[in-house]
């Protein structure tokens, strides 16, 4: 289940180094590039709202099977698309598939955690997206450099991976019993179990900072590479995403036995510092400084994501986990998508550089607000 989670997020990151290739081939405006990036988040958000709790009622396996089939359709569309409009359709389907899978996979990992290590599921749930983003960006960057048909190679490979995922899910045992009321869960709403609400609100500020940072790297760094740094290698953006996500994954792994509150506070500090220097590095046209900033921001990206999840996860019962994780990801992906659309429009008005700097400043401020919220909760904990 952890590896399937990694694959979904690898597929989410894979198009980022390829967007500029689509743009160079089809010559569409930058605003459509932002739409192609952001509609994934909106498709994901819609699915979380509609079917986020469904796996708590009908089981994890049926939801995952449907998600994997939809993901295969999306990957096939991405390598056969002949226009940006078809890429946007594919990204919507991909978002729907990933949204259905995200809540079910996060809940399944908590279900399957061994009794002696109940936190292991939450650790893997927070680690898998980071590993996936790093792998997706890194491998796509390599393919861009080595292949004359990178789009086909990337998405055909992912099709094979998700087909194997289907086999794994079919062969896996169900981890939750069915219960009545599944149809009622399809009414769109966001719900957080009562015991988890205060912790959820405190963590939300930090999660917003985390996913604003993700929006900079997954949505804008490719254009920064081409239009500001003017490196034009086609792989620098993949390397930067890999540094961000890889540092995040390693930091989560290294702090498995550290208290979740300490993890969240450390993440908020690292993220605020790192994303601030990301904006400074881009303004200075300095790739070395940007690499260092990405490393520091990556530590905050990982810890700032893992800390809140580890804090809220134990506060939900088994049949509440799907809805809890769905609420967490609603915050994440709403933050991921809406600012990207706004940024795409603003680029046409103010140019890329001031928009990226403003985006980084917003992420830094949100991280600092998250830090204040975590410190307050720490005082309340005693």
* Number of domains forming the structure of the chain: 1
Which residue reads 């981890």 in tokens? Answer: 175
182 falls within a domain:
no
Domain of 356, in residue numbers: 2-175+191-381
Give the pLDDT score at 311: 93
164, HSE (Cβ side, Cα atoms, 13 Å): 12
Give the pLDDT score at 273: 98
pLDDT tier at 61, thresholds 50, 70, 90? very high
Give the pLDDT score at 101: 92
More confident residue, 187 or 104: 104
184 falls within a domain:
no
More confident residue, 33 or 189: 33
294 falls within a domain:
yes
DSSP per residue over 15-43, as a string? TGGGHHHHHHHH---HHHHHHHHHHHHHH
Give the pLDDT score at 172: 87
181 falls within a domain:
no
- Rounded distance between C-alpha atoms, residue 109 and residue 4, angstroms: 11
Orientation angle between helical segments 197-215 and 352-381, nearest 10 degrees: 160
DSSP per residue over 52-80, as a string? TTTHHHH-HHHHHHHHHHHHHHHHHHHHH
Output the domain CATH number for residue 77: 1.20.1250.20
- Rounded distance between C-alpha atoms, residue 99 and residue 93, angstroms: 10
Lowest model confidence (mean pLDDT) among 122-136, 211-225, 288-302? 122-136
Average pLDDT value over all residues in the chain = 89
pLDDT tier at 253, thresholds 50, 70, 90? confident
What is the three-class DSSP state of 329?
helix
DSSP per residue over 209-276, as a string? HHHHHHHIIIIIHHHIIIIIS----SSHHHHHHHHHHHHHHHHHHHTTTS-HHHHHHHHHHHHHHHHH
- Rounded distance between C-alpha atoms, residue 30 and residue 59, angstroms: 41
Contact in structure between 123 and 255 (CB atoms under 8 Å): no
Contact in structure between 287 and 338 (CB atoms under 8 Å): no
- Rounded distance between C-alpha atoms, residue 162 and residue 7, angstroms: 8
What stretch of H or E contains 132?
Answer: helix 120-146
180 falls within a domain:
no
pLDDT tier at 354, thresholds 50, 70, 90? very high
Tens-digit pLDDT profile for residues 145-172: 888 899 999 999 999 999 999 999 999 8
Contact in structure between 47 and 137 (CB atoms under 8 Å): no
245 falls within a domain:
yes
Mean pLDDT across 84-103: 92
273 falls within a domain:
yes
More confident residue, 161 or 381: 161
pLDDT tier at 18, thresholds 50, 70, 90? confident
72 falls within a domain:
yes
Contact in structure between 301 and 214 (CB atoms under 8 Å): yes
Tens-digit pLDDT profile for residues 164-205: 999 999 998 887 878 887 887 777 666 788 888 999 999 999
Give the pLDDT score at 234: 58
Give the pLDDT score at 314: 85
- Whether the per-residue pLDDT at 373 is higher than 60: the answer is yes
Give the pLDDT score at 17: 81
């Amino acid at each position: 289940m952890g590896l399937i989670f990694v694959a979904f997020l690898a597929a989410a990151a894979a198009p980022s180094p390829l967007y500029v290739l689509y743009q160079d081939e089809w010559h569409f405006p930058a605003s459509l590039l932002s739409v192609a990036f952001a509609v994934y988040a909106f498709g994901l958000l819609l699915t979380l709202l509609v079917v986020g709790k469904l796996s708590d009622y009908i089981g994890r396996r049926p939801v995952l099977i449907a998600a994997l089939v939809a993901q295969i359709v999306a990957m096939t569309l991405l390598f056969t698309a002949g226009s940006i409009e078809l890429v946007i359709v594919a990204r919507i389907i991909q978002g729907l598939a990933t949204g259905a899978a995200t809540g079910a996979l996060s809940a399944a990992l908590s279900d399957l955690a061994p009794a002696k290590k109940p936190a292991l599921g939450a650790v893997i749930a927070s680690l898998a997206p980071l590993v996936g983003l790093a792998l997706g960006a890194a491998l796509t960057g390599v393919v861009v450099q080595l292949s004359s048909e990178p789009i086909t190679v990337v998405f055909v490979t992912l099709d094979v991976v998700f087909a194997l995922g289907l086999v794994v899910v079919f062969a896996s045992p169900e981890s939750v019993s069915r219960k009545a009321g599944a149809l009622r869960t399809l009414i769109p709403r966001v719900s957080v179990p009562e015991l988890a609400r205060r912790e959820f609100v405190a963590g939300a500020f930090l999660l917003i900072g985390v996913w604003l940072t993700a929006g900079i790297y997954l949505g804008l760094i490719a254009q920064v590479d081409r239009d500001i740094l003017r490196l034009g290698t086609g792989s620098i953006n993949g390397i930067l995403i890999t540094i961000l996500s890889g540092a995040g994954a390693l930091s989560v792994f290294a702090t498995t036995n550290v208290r979740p509150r300490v993890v969240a506070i450390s993440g908020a500090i690292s993220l605020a510092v790192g994303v601030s220097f990301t904006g400074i590095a881009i303004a200075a046209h300095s790739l070395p400084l940007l690499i260092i900033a990405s490393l520091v921001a990556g530590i905050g990206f990982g810890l700032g994501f893992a800390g809140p999840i580890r804090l809220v996860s134990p506060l939900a019962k088994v049949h509440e986990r799907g809805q809890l994780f769905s609420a967490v990801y609603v915050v994440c992906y709403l933050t991921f998508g809406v600012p990207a659309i706004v940024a795409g429009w603003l680029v046409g008005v103010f140019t890329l550089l001031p928009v990226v700097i403003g985006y980084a400043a917003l992420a830094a401020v949100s991280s600092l607000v998250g830090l204040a919220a975590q410190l307050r909760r720490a005082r309340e904990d005693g």
